[in-house]
Amino acid sequence: MTAPTAIDAIRAAFQADLSTIATAQDLQSVRDRYLGRKQGQVAALMKSMAGAAPADRPALGKAANVLKREIDAALTLRRETLEATARPVGSVDVTLPGRELPFGRRHPLTLIREQVESIFEAMGFEILQGPQVEDDHHNFEALNMPPDHPARDMQDTFYLERPMPGGGDGSARPATLLRTHTSGMQIRYMESHEPPVRIIAPGLVYRRDTPDLTHSPMFMQVEGLLVGEAVTMADLKGTLIGFLRRFFDADTRVMFRPSFFPYTEPSAEVFISCVFCGGDGCAVCKQTGWLEILGCGMVHPAVFEAVGYDPERYTGWAFGLGIDRVALLKYRVEDIRLFYDNDLRLLEQFPQ
């Protein structure tokens, strides 16, 4: 067999072997077969050239070297390709989804409530919880709303068919109604504590409103009360502005406007610059740029008299905030009733 023919034969055989390489071991055995120092076919070819005509040797040698480089390059390329696609022993497909672990959520009203609580807690307020069934004294009379007072119409009330044990544990007078606000707890606290008072009372309250987008016969409220010897309406403004800017946004603008509540005087309604349009006017704020957010005022002296505080010595302020309303605004939920459907498609949008 002439040398060029032998070179072509090796080249053809190599090409066939190359295509069968699937693993690093295959690659090594092909490399040994062709480029091995002793057994390799290229080495054998070099040796066989000793028998060729001296004149042909340089050309043959050159051709053999070309073949050697060709094989080497092809194997190197093949090795790189192999390495690129190789998976380590025990490897897994990391893109498959992980196992689902339990993940429950707190109710959005709880989230808002806890945020409110923690801001007031940082301002030194004690957090109280009171009973949802109340007696007339704690819900109305002690709050300057005697029977037949027209202001009672502002809070249409659910009454019990017959009295039940009151005060949560039956220690208080019998309960006759569902509380329309959490103020009863403030009365209870003042009845048993001397000033200074610095409390908030969050909880569920009930009003006999027909349900619609913004009304629910049960909703969550938080009320605050501060009483001391030199507590002023300026303090009320400062505290509530501080709270609202921390809760919503440091740039929130706050407006206080005269209003009426039987248990505070002077009374105010508080508005914040619309969280949707920033105050430019939109459908939510009815183009006013403002959203009503809470009611407040200086505690009416009649309330202090009802709990045995000296209204000449002590002044104080109170506020009430609807947690549902804040949640509707903050999370842009469209219908208050969704909070009580407990639809997981809503709940699962909120953090744990």
Partner 1 sequence: MRILVSWLQELVELPVGPAGAGPAGPTNIAELADALTMRGFEVGAVEPWPVAEGAPPDAVLDLEITTNRPDCLSVFGIAREVGTIYAADCRLPEIESAVAADQDAPLAISIDDADLCPRYVGALADVEVGPSPRWLAARLEAADVRPINNVVDVTNYVMLELGQPMHAFDLAKLAGPEIRVRRAADGERIRTLDGVERTLQPQMLTIADAQQPQAIAGVMGGADSEVGDATRTIVLEAAYFNPISVRRTSKRLALSTDASFRFERGADVLAPLTAIARARHLLKAIGAGRARGAIVDCFPAPPDPIVVRLRHHRLGHVLGQTVDPSFVAPTLTRLGFAPRSERNGESPVWRVTVPSFRVDVNREEDLIEEVARHHGYERLPTTFPALTRPPQAAGDWRPRDQTVRRLLTGCGFSEAITYGFIEREAALAVHEDASDLVALSNPLSEKGAVLRPSLIPGLVDSLIHNRRRERQDIRLFELGSRFRQGDGETPSLALALTGAARAQHWTGAERKSDLFDLTGALTRLAEGFGVHAAFEADTTRALVPGRTARIQLTIGADTTPVGWVGQLDPALASRRGLPGAHEVYVAEIDLRSLTLEAFARLRAAPVPRHPSIVRDLSLEIDDALPAARVRDTIRTAAGPALVSVREVDRYQGSDVATGAVSLSVRLTFRASDRTLTDAEVQTATDRVVSALEQAHSAKLR
Minimum Å gap between C-beta 15 and partner 1 is 42
Cα 83 from Cα 260, distance rounded (Å): 80
Complex with partner 1: residue 217 or 278, whichever CB lies closer: 217
Q: Is the distance from CB of 293 to CB of 325 less than 8 angstroms?
A: yes
Complex with partner 1: residue 60 or 197, whichever CB lies closer: 197
Complex with partner 1: residue 16 or 101, whichever CB lies closer: 101
Minimum Å gap between C-beta 177 and partner 1 is 9
Minimum Å gap between C-beta 6 and partner 1 is 56
Complex with partner 1: residue 63 or 268, whichever CB lies closer: 268
Minimum Å gap between C-beta 335 and partner 1 is 14
CA-nearest of 227, 222, 221 to 190 is 227
Cα 243 from Cα 222, distance rounded (Å): 13
Minimum Å gap between C-beta 75 and partner 1 is 39
Q: Is the distance from CB of 30 to CB of 79 less than 8 angstroms?
A: no
Minimum Å gap between C-beta 300 and partner 1 is 7
Angle at 57 between CA 52 and CA 62, to 5 degrees: 130
Helix (H, G, I), strand (E, B) or coil at 294: strand
Cα 306 from Cα 66, distance rounded (Å): 110
Minimum Å gap between C-beta 62 and partner 1 is 59
Cα 242 from Cα 225, distance rounded (Å): 16
Complex with partner 1: residue 48 or 115, whichever CB lies closer: 115
Complex with partner 1: residue 68 or 300, whichever CB lies closer: 300
Complex with partner 1: residue 54 or 102, whichever CB lies closer: 102
Cα 75 from Cα 191, distance rounded (Å): 93
* Single-letter code of the amino acid located at 195: P
Tell me how far the alpha carbon of residue 270 is from its chain's centroid. Answer: 27
CA-nearest of 338, 275, 324 to 111 is 324
Using the Cα atoms of residue 225, residue 228, residue 232 and residue 236 in order, give the sign of their dihedral: negative
